[in-house]
Structure 1
């Protein structure tokens, strides 16, 4: 498996797509029920292949990932084979970027000595989707890039 098996809830949400996937494998409902009952390992392998296919499709369309922790914010912009990043760090130990107050504090103090911002760029031409999945596994959230865009504009002024 390249990624992670979809959860039961995710599989239920993707039920129509899973049925189509099984159909492309020439597996009908009766055969699927038989696999689950008599050959559970093969059924699990089919779910794993489907999971990888869904993750691959989703990750191919990812453009932005945000990751928040108490004192850090990591913002990623994925363009072709490159990931551009901003790492925002608060040196004020009372700051909590996991709270609305922490985000408000950042907007008021972004250019203060208590905030450090680093920029980065990484080539991920080898294993783009796997690299993005690792960020997501560590707590990254697929986003629309609003924060990245705002920070990009602020820093270019």
Structure 2
């Protein structure tokens, strides 16, 4: 398995797609029920294979990630050959990016002296999707890139 198995909730959300996936394997609903009962290892293999297919599709389409914590924001643009990172550091410990009011303040005052910006890029050290997946696993969220684009224009 290249990534990780989808959660039960994710499988429920993708029930229709999973049925179609099984159909491509010549497995209908009746056969799937039999496999789950009689061949747990094969059922696990099918779940893992489907999970990897879904993750590969999602990761390939992912362009932007963001990870927001109390005093830091990491923004990533995931190009095909390299990743661009913008790091935002809040030096005022009386404010927090996790507080809606303080976050709104940050958006209105991006040039405040208590905010530092750093920007860098790096080529992928392994395959692109694996690196994007690792960032998601440690808490990054897929985004549409609005904050990345806004901050990128500022700096």
Assess same fold via TM > 0.5: yes
1:21 is aligned to 2:21: yes
- Shift in Å at residue 14 of structure 1? 0.9
Q: Distance in 2 between matches of 1:125 and 1:134?
A: 12
Structure 1 runs of 4+ off > 3 angstroms? none
- Shift in Å at residue 142 of structure 1? 0.6
What TM-score comes out, normalization by structure 1 length? 0.93
* Larger displacement relative to structure 2 (77-86 or 54-63): 77-86
Corresponding residue for residue 137 of structure 1: 137
Backbone CA RMSD of aligned residues:
1.3
Q: Distance in 1 between matches of 2:62 and 2:102?
A: 26
Number of residue pairs matched?
155
Gaps of 5+ in 1: none
Q: Specify the SS of the correspondent of 2:96.
A: coil
Q: Specify the SS of the correspondent of 2:73.
A: strand
- Shift in Å at residue 77 of structure 1? 0.7
Q: Distance in 2 between matches of 1:90 and 1:121?
A: 21
- Shift in Å at residue 64 of structure 1? 0.5
Gaps of 5+ in 2: none
Q: Specify the SS of the correspondent of 2:54.
A: helix
- Shift in Å at residue 119 of structure 1? 0.4
Q: Distance in 2 between matches of 1:33 and 1:13?
A: 19
Q: Distance in 1 between matches of 2:98 and 2:132?
A: 22
- Shift in Å at residue 153 of structure 1? 1.3
Corresponding residue for residue 55 of structure 1: 55
- After superposition, residues 69-88 of structure 1 pair within 5 angstroms as 69-88=69-88
Q: Specify the SS of the correspondent of 2:95.
A: coil
- After superposition, residues 49-128 of structure 1 pair within 5 angstroms as 49-124=49-124, 126-128=126-128
